[in-house]
Each structure stands twice: as structure tokens, then as C-alpha cells.
Amino acid sequence: MTAIASPDLIAELDHVLKAGSPDRRTRMLREVAGLFIEDAHRLNEHHVGLFDDILVRLTESVELRTLTTLSCSLADLRLVPRELARRLANHDDADVAAPILRKCDCIPNADLIDIAWMRAEGHLCAIAGRKAVNQELTDILLMRGDGSVLRALAENPGAELTSAGFAMMVDAAERDDGIADALISRADLPHRVLADLVMRSTPRQQARLLKRARPDIQDAIRAAIDSGAARASAKPPATIDYAEARATVMALNKSGQLNDSSVNRFAIRQEVRNVVAALAQLASVPIETIAPLMEAADSNGLVIACRASRLNWNTTAAIVSYRKAGLTVAPDELERARQMFEGLPLSNAQRMIRFGSLSELTAKPSVKV
């Protein structure tokens, strides 16, 4: 700290901060940043705070190239000036923000969430590449990101994916081989998601996935391919007429009685068409969006639809348990569904169901409305 505390340098800093030209500020910024980087390993928090204040003031009105260089230089350090890091991470220019967003551990999770909601793909890609990305942050990135963001998340073993997140990834993998390849390589890929991914792939994609897959999951992939082929050769389902169910639900809605009690009763009585029509009405989506979810082997999409419909867990559990005649839902599957339901924010569920991606979780039956 001798250099930063020298009277000559303090006097020069004071002059530059008050009246220095942009070029002078840039030179001083490089000098002070160099001092910090050189001594960072032996500075205490008080000293880092002093550097933080000076560097933040010096970064005002300097060119982007200088800020990008500074961001790259600081990103790998164990101890980084916190306010400076936050300002760089929030910078409008993604080249400036990306190194800090990708590598710096001192950025609060709340800041990362705000940036993920507000910024564009360059910032989102950087966040997706962090060593650890929690489930809340991952869901936001999945909803707002483009293909490059989703690929970065899929390739990142430190990105925690929820059940809903895996469902969104599988949707995207149908259109992006890079995402599919990354998913197949994840050690945390649930068996049911693997089967869904394979069955929704083309024969060419299935062959590529099988070739790229680890030996321990190749048999599961072959089984999913065989299951998909059997399903494709089966007789197409008959057209389902939802007109009566829709009329029943509309009448309940008009009288203010379309609620947890009435929907729960539909579920327990296994009045599937009424359940489908009720969820469509409550979630403000077409019946065609809900109908496939009742037939899906996986309950994830149905749980999201129930959450988007503002139903409580008891009603959701009844719908999941009684959605098919003769269906037995294992206790551990119901517990996973409960955890997903309780951990999913209402706004996230409504975005996912209304964006329409969930309607592709299974093949759509022919629906007559």
C-alpha cells in the first residue's frame, strides 16, 4: 500500500479526479489497477476498499476498450473490489460485463438475477457460463435466453436445472443439435428426461445421440427408441370432443364456482375432459395446450399447468394421481411433483405455459373444441 498512499500519487489522483482529461484518467486508471493487481494477494479488506473507491471514480468517462481490459484483468482475482465489480457486471456493453459475470464470485445472486431479467444475450451467456448457477437463475436464463444461452447452460455441469428447466431444454433440443448433444452428456440428466429427449428426436438425431452417449446410458437410449417406434406405429387416438366439458366449465366460471373445490372434484371422479377444460380456462391457454399433458408419462408439464392456474397442491396432487384410469403414481414421483410445484413461482409457470413450449412435451391428440 506504500505506492497508493504516497503523497505525490494522492495529489495526482485528486487532480485527475477533479479536472483530468479522459486520456489522463485512462492512464491513471491503468496505473492504479496495475498496483492493485500486483498487490491483490496481500491486501486486506480495508485496503481493497480504498482501491475500490478510487477505481470506481476513475472508470467514469473512459473508453470501452479500457473497461473491457480492466474487467478481464480483475475477473480471475480471488479478491475483487466489490463496487467496481458490480458496476462492470451491470455495464451496458456485454464485452465489459462478461468477464466479471462469468468468473467473479463477489457478484451477489440478487444482482445476477436483476441482470438476467434486464440484459440481452451477451450478458445472459456470460452468466450461464459461471462455475455455479442456481435453479432460480437457470429458470430465468431459460425463459429469456436464445439458443446460445441454452447451449451454454446445457454444457455447464454447474448449472442446476429444475424439472421444468429440463422440459424447456428438451423443447429447445428438438431444434438445436448442440443442445441435445450437451444434454446427453450431463451426469444429472434424469432417466425420464433422457427418454423424452430420444423419443422426440428424428432417426438421424437418435443415431447421433446414441453414438455420443456414455456407455452406461446407451441401453436406455435404445429402449427409448424402441418405445417411440412402437408408439408411432400404434393406432391414432380418436378425436376427443371437449364441447360439453367446455360448456360445463364456462358455466362454473360465470357463476364464480370454478375453483379448487370444483376442479378437485373433477379430478377425483376422473372427469378428464372437465379437468382439461378447467385448466385451459384458469391458465388462459387453449385446450390443445393442456390435453397432451394429461397423457404424458411425465407429470412435469401438468404440474406447471396447475401452478399457472393458481390451484393449490391438494388439487394438483389429485389431478396428477387420477389423470389416467388405472394409473398408479409412486410416492417418490408425487413428492418430486410437490417440490417442483412449491418451488415454481407463479409468474414463471404462467410464462412457460403461455409461451406454448409445454404443448410439445408429447404428441398432440386430435382435439375437437
The per-residue pLDDT for range 69-106, each reduced to its tens digit, is 999 999 988 888 999 999 999 999 999 999 999 999 88
What is the overall mean pLDDT for the chain?
A: 85
Q: Give 113-139 pLDDT, tens digit per residue.
A: 999 999 999 999 999 999 999 988 998
What pLDDT score does 369 carry? 45
Q: Give 189-200 pLDDT, tens digit per residue.
A: 988 889 889 988
Burial class (CB in 10 A: 0-12, 13-18, 19+), 121: middle
Over pLDDT 70: what percentage of the chain? 87
Taking the alpha carbons at both ends of the chain, their separation in whole angstroms is 75
Q: What is the mean pLDDT of residues 142-151?
A: 91
Count of H-run helices and E-run strands, the chain: 24, 2
Q: Are 357 and 297 in contact (CB under 8 A)?
A: no
- Other beta carbons within 10 angstroms of residue 293's beta carbon come to 25
Q: Give 9-19 pLDDT, tens digit per residue.
A: 556 666 666 66
pLDDT band, residue 365 (cuts 50/70/90): very low
- For residues 276-285, one letter each, b for 16 or more C-beta atoms within 10 angstroms of the residue's C-beta and e for the rest, the string is bbbbbbbbeb
Compare 347 and 215 and report the one with higher pLDDT.
215
pLDDT exceeds cutoff 60 at 4: no
pLDDT band, residue 242 (cuts 50/70/90): very high
What pLDDT score does 141 carry? 92
What pLDDT score does 299 carry? 84
For residue 364, the 8-state DSSP code is: P
What pLDDT score does 237 carry? 61
Place of cell 473497461: 67
What pLDDT score does 19 carry? 62
Q: How far apart are CA 223 and CA 201, in angstroms?
A: 14
What pLDDT score does 83 carry? 93
Tell me how far the alpha carbon of residue 220 is from its chain's centroid: 26
Q: How far apart are CA 145 and CA 160, in angstroms?
A: 16
pLDDT exceeds cutoff 60 at 358: no
Compare 369 and 119 and report the one with higher pLDDT.
119
For the record, the C-alpha cell of 285 comes out as 391457454
- Other beta carbons within 10 angstroms of residue 199's beta carbon come to 20
Residue 367 main-chain phi, psi, to 5 deg:
-125, 130
What pLDDT score does 229 carry? 78
What pLDDT score does 162 carry? 83
Q: How far apart are CA 189 and CA 91, in angstroms?
A: 35
For residue 133, the 8-state DSSP code is: B
Q: Are 327 and 298 in contact (CB under 8 A)?
A: no
Q: Give 216-232 pLDDT, tens digit per residue.
A: 999 999 998 888 777 66
Concatenating the DSSP letter of every residue in 15-35 gives HHHHH--HHHHHHHHHHHHHH
pLDDT exceeds cutoff 60 at 238: yes
Compare 48 and 256 and report the one with higher pLDDT.
256
pLDDT exceeds cutoff 60 at 7: no
Q: Which helix (H) or strand (E) holds 240?
A: strand 240-241
What pLDDT score does 363 carry? 30
pTM of the model: 0.66
pLDDT exceeds cutoff 70 at 65: yes
Compare 17 and 239 and report the one with higher pLDDT.
239
- For residues 76-93, one letter each, b for 16 or more C-beta atoms within 10 angstroms of the residue's C-beta and e for the rest, the string is ebebbbbebbbbbbbbee
